[in-house]
Amino acid sequence: MYKKLIANTKLHFRGIGFFNKKNFHTSIKTFNNTMITNDIKTEVNIDNITSEMNNTIIPKRPVIKIDYTNKLILAPMVRVNGLAFRQICADFGADIVYSEELVDKKLFKCKPVINQKLNTIDYMYGDTIVYQVEIVSPESKSRTGRQEVPTVLQLGTSSPSLALEVAELMIDGYDAIDVNMGCPKKFSIKGGMGSSLLKKENQENALEILRTLVKGIKEKYGKPVTCKIRLLDTMEETLDLYKRLEATGVSAICVHARYIPQRPREKAHSHLIASIAEIAKIPLIANGDVFKQEDFERIKEVTKCNSLMIARGAMWNCSIFRKEGALDKVETAKQLLSRLKYYSYHEGLSKYILKRMFETQPKTKLYEALSKSKGFEQLEKALEVDEKIVDIITPEVLASIVGEKDETIEETENPTKKIKMD
């Protein structure tokens, strides 16, 4: 029966590719063995959505204490922050790692599948792996697998009740939960999520989401609840909202030093975070324009924050977290590609991640070779191009990056389908 099922099944990994059938063979058998005998979909009266999470027995995830002070944190990045990327950043030295923003309505309809071969929990939406996390084990080879580095699930939501329902259903799939209140892209704001929550008319809903999660997750299960926001039009408005967010009981708040309409290619206003730091009573995390290790102390001094969240700096070279100093970018890319292959990422997504990694050098032979690559073998050959790669980040370089232009990402079964991979 399993062979027939596998032969007729093409599993999409993160919405754009096919999951390795050999790995999934174990998952199917394990999944059937862990299913409750009466395999009936659980009807939950939230937006008429059907959830299947209650039907699977998931290993209990230990609750760990998370300190958000003096930390270097991997920021959430769409399509990049899958398990392989979170894992390698943690192994290089990141103190906390975030998932990409994941929408509550999609997660609510997911079915968790135990993958014994990879020792992961794969949250499946049909034939798509929406979220993948390691099963905690002291024998794990990775820091995230041993819980030395906490994994934070970042949630895209506009509903207090649904956010809590999803957070409880997935309680053993993360160490802390974060609410995205800063993403300005269409896929996030169209449902009242992301930066929509910062609009004056939606701020009370944002506060209620946090209050609900603090009561239902932090107080009940002992897992931290945090949020990530942007600067509002004025500092007075920003400070007022910050105080109200703090009052909900969240464990930490990250502030991206850009206004809602700003895009990554525009300079961050890091100095404005210092005014928030003066009134902060909980850990405050600064985010924006941390591109290389030399930026760490500068941004800390400017923002008066001791914790930093790093996005593109990590995407361009995930060894940025390495205390002994960042490694050669090409060597880092080779290590990342090895993990992408191990976790059966689709070649198209792997190519996308590597191209984003080298997007600051679009005129190099290496980038050209990556762009022409089809399949893992050609990606590996592209990284063998004999060429010295030097990162020079200037405003002109940032403005020229194609990957930074606005993208329409639909919340569908194939969220990355609109991006050309070849």
Quickly list DSSP for 401-420.
-GGGS------SS-TTTTS-
Positive or negative, the Cα torsion across 347, 353, 357, 358?
positive
Alpha-carbon distance 372 to 351, whole Å? Answer: 10
Residue among 51, 107, 97 nearest 415 (CA): 107
Largest interatomic CA distance in the chain = 63
Which residues partner with 252 through β-bridges?
226
Alpha-carbon distance 341 to 303, whole Å? Answer: 39
What is the dihedral angle through the alpha carbons of 347, 350, 351, 353, rounded to the nearest 10 degrees?
160
Strands (E) located in 157-259? 176-180, 225-231, 252-259
Give residue for tokens 């030295």. Answer: 93
Q: Kindly state the tokens that stand for 393.
A: 């980040």
Catalytic residue among 183, 227, 305, 318: 183
CA separation, residue 345 to residues 19, 83, 102, 269, 418 (Å)? 7, 10, 18, 36, 18
Active site residue 183: yes
List, by residue number, the catalytic residues: 183
